[in-house]
Structure 1
Amino acid sequence: MSFKPLLRAFQPAIRQATITNTTPRILTSRLFHTTLPRMTVHNIATLEEFKETIAKNQVVMLDAFATWCGPCKAIAPQIAKWAEGDFKDKIYFAKFDVDALPELAQELGVRAMPTFIIFKDGEKVDEFVGANPPALQKVLVKNLPEGVSV
């Protein structure tokens, strides 16, 4: 197998630059942009951040997940899709890693992953355990703010 086509593909990104009295250096050009991605599911890193989130937003769907949890990884794209589409600006989607914030997991009584907790006006109103998108969607629709529909 020849690597010449592969090398040709990367040649625009790699340039040799020779600086006087020094050895040649390889420079790579930036072929990506540096704008921040639009966050649809917000990551909670501290207990204070959690309290601020549920206080500021009328309806919050909190996803308690673990990085090693297969079902958590499986349902994450569906949650992101809902946050960008059907429930955008209706429900604030947030998540936290139970291993990174064990005190929050204990405070909320999380015993299995994924656990989804719905808060309305700062109060816990509903909980759903498991990676079942149709059932979770029903819970989200049930807990929409008054007068709002999907």
Structure 2
Amino acid sequence: MVRFLETKADFDSFLKANKDKLVAIDFTAAWCGPCKIIGPVFEKLHEDFPNIVLAKVDVDENEETAAHCGISAMPTFQLYIDEKKIDSMTGANADKLKALVAKYYK
């Protein structure tokens, strides 16, 4: 299940609550065509990586978090462990996204 993080407080508490897991955040926008294409791939990552924790941030609805995370293009995916960003990628490349997650998944 993918959780939508609507505020910076939601983002912070989500990372804290899942600090012992690999967390993937999809920074997206409703108007973004590539986001709509890659969105279903992101939402199904748990099928290949059962212990991953997934969340989305709509950059227009949650501008504070997007700014805090330095988002300048969509889609951008960021991976976190222990509340720290460990890697990221920008673009709607499904193979690249899966490879990025596989690199850190235990």
TM-score by length of 1: 0.67
Residues 11-90 of structure 1 mapped to structure 2, 5 A cutoff: 40-57=1-18, 58-83=21-46, 85-88=47-50, 90=51
What is aligned with 2:103?
142
Question: Is contact 2:15-2:82 (8 Å) kept?
Answer: yes
SS at match of 2:48: coil
Deviation at 1:82, TM superposition (A): 1.6
Structure 2, unaligned stretches of length 5 or more? none
What is aligned with 1:4?
none
What is aligned with 2:59?
98
**Whole-Å Cα distance in 2 between the matches of residues 80 and 54 of structure 1?**
18
Q: Which of structures 1 and 2 has the bigger CA Rg?
A: 1
SS at match of 2:80: strand
Cα RMSD for the two superposed structures: 0.9
Deviation at 1:67, TM superposition (A): 0.2
TM-score by length of 2: 0.94
Deviation at 1:133, TM superposition (A): 0.5
Q: After TM superposition, where is structure 1 displaced by more than 6 Å over at least 4 residues in a row?
A: none
Aligned residues: 104
Structure 1, unaligned stretches of length 5 or more? 1-39
